Amino acid sequence: MILLAWKFIKFDRSKSIGIVTAIVISIFLIGQQLGLLGFLMGLMGNLVSNANLTDRDIWVIENQTENVNVLNRIDQRYVQEIRSIKGVEQTYPIVIVSCQASFLDGKTAGVNLIGSEAPVFITGPTQDRIFEGRLADLATPEAVSAEFFNASSWKTELFLNKPIELNGKSARIKLITKKAQAFGGDFMYTTIENARFYGNLDPSTVSIVSVRLAPGVDKMEVIERINSLYPKLRAWDVEKLRNSTVKEILISSNMGMSFGTLVVFAMISGFFIIGLTLYSSALDRIKDYGTLKAIGAKKGYVNRLIVTQAFLYAVFGFVIAMLLLLGFQQGVKNSGLFINFSLPFVAFLFGLTLLISIGGSLFAVRKISRLEPASVF
């Protein structure tokens, strides 16, 4: 059957090229857009992802927001109060302040300075995101980190010990991160003292209280306790806070709608282009299908022949689209755009290709299914 389907595909070369091209364009667009969305969603939650957290950690923030990138400050005293709650092992204050970074070459950039207590550095960056330098180097006065991939957007060169200014105060890059980018303002990591200093922040406030629970403690129970004790605060499982952040940004920026619409339209256009081209191809070969029926092929056989062609188109189209996507992935990697084509995502794309291609073939199947073998006389 596959050989016969292949012969039909090969014979109708121009239409076959059209169908495969439609699949490639559809799947490439869908893969590219979803990959890009995945990358941006990763950035949206990077404040959490970059942090040195465990599954015993909770973040407490003021209760007005569900987006960790947009925080109002809370009283510093909560850090001690929450530490006294049963089941809490430790609490860590986190400060996030906006600064203007100025470089020696006169370039400037808006950054978010993230400060947490040394030597733990609960906000990270995690070891796998440190490109140059050591986390402990951030514990020195004036020390801040910078993101490797921001060099191009800041249009400056980044290296260890590079002197910079933050809000007009002198600082020095002691750590370079990689893949720790932010969505919107760029991240610079430092100690809590430095963050307060550069951000001109009152020491009586913090942005987040990071709470580490004692082993074996029920996380939900502590979250509920904090929420009931402090109505102005909200305790979050960090994973849920990241998801909530992503959801908030997707909705408020209409990004979800925008990417979703593009993906849906790529699917619909692919479905109809493939469907109609396959239909037209089936009409071109209607005499062959009728002959097959007349000489004794069962209806199911002829239907399978069309679906097998659609399957082969899907495989060819998918392979070419994936090669293009991998090329795209490599091409944008150097600019800090990391698109992850995980195995489940690739499997999803293949499933989608089959859906579009085989779904599109149903127009042709329907037509040929009704074809009477007597039509060839």
Partner 1 sequence: MQETVISLKGVNKIYKTGDTTITALDSTDLELKKGELTLIMGPSGSGKTTLLSIIGCVIYPTAGEVFFLDRKVTDLKENELAAIRLGQIGFVFQQFNLLEPLNALENVMQPMVLQQLPKAEARQRAKDALEKVGLLDRMYNLPKKLSGGQKQRVAIARALVTNPPIVLCDEPTASLDARSAAVIMEELKALAEEGKAVIIVTHDLRLRKFADRIIYVEEGKVSNTISNEEEYK
Q: Which is nearer to partner 1, 107 or 287 (CB)?
A: 287
Backbone angles phi, psi at 214, to 5 degrees: -70, 150
Site for partner 1 (CB under 8 A): which residue of 76, 167, 291, 369? 291
Decide: residue 76, CB within 10 A, 0-12 exposed, 13-18 middle, 19+ buried.
Answer: middle
Question: According to CB under 8 A, which one of 202, 296, 343, 370 is a site residue for partner 1?
Answer: 296
Specify the stretch interacting with partner 1 by CB under 8 A; choose among 26-34, 228-236, 298-306, 332-340. Answer: 298-306
Q: What's the closest the beta carbon of residue 2 comes to partner 1, in angstroms?
A: 12
193 C-beta neighbours (distance < 10 Å), count: 15
Q: Which is nearer to partner 1, 16 or 156 (CB)?
A: 16
The string of DSSP letters for 94-114 reads: EEEEEEEEEETTS-EEEEEEE
What sections of 217-254 are H helices per DSSP? Answer: 219-229, 238-252
355 binds partner 1 (CB under 8 A): no
Q: How far is the CB of 148 from partner 1 (least distance, A)?
A: 55
Peptide bond into 119 cis (omega under 30): yes
Which H/E stretch holds residue 258? helix 255-284
Determine if 373 is a binding residue for partner 1 (CB under 8 A).
Answer: yes
Reference 79, options 184, 204, 209, 207; nearest CA is 209
Stretch that binds partner 1, among 124-132, 144-152, 291-299, 316-324 (CB under 8 A): 291-299
CB of 187 to partner 1, least distance (A): 60
> Are the C-beta atoms of residues 271 and 360 closer than 8 Å to each other?
yes
Q: How far apart are the first and last CA of the chain?
A: 25
Residues 71 to 110: which contact partner 1 by CB under 8 A?
Answer: none
Q: For the window 3-22, what string marks contact with partner 1 as x by the rule CB under 8 A?
A: -x--xx-xxx----------
Q: Which stretch binds partner 1 (CB under 8 A): 78-86, 189-197, 247-255, 290-298?
A: 290-298
* 377 lines the binding site for partner 1 (CB under 8 A): yes
Q: Which residues contact 335 (CB under 8 A, 6 or more apart)?
A: 149, 152
Residue 287 lies near partner 1 (rule: CB under 8 A): yes
Q: Note the residues at the interface with partner 1 (CB under 8 A).
A: 4, 7-8, 10-12, 285, 287-288, 290-301, 372-374, 376-377
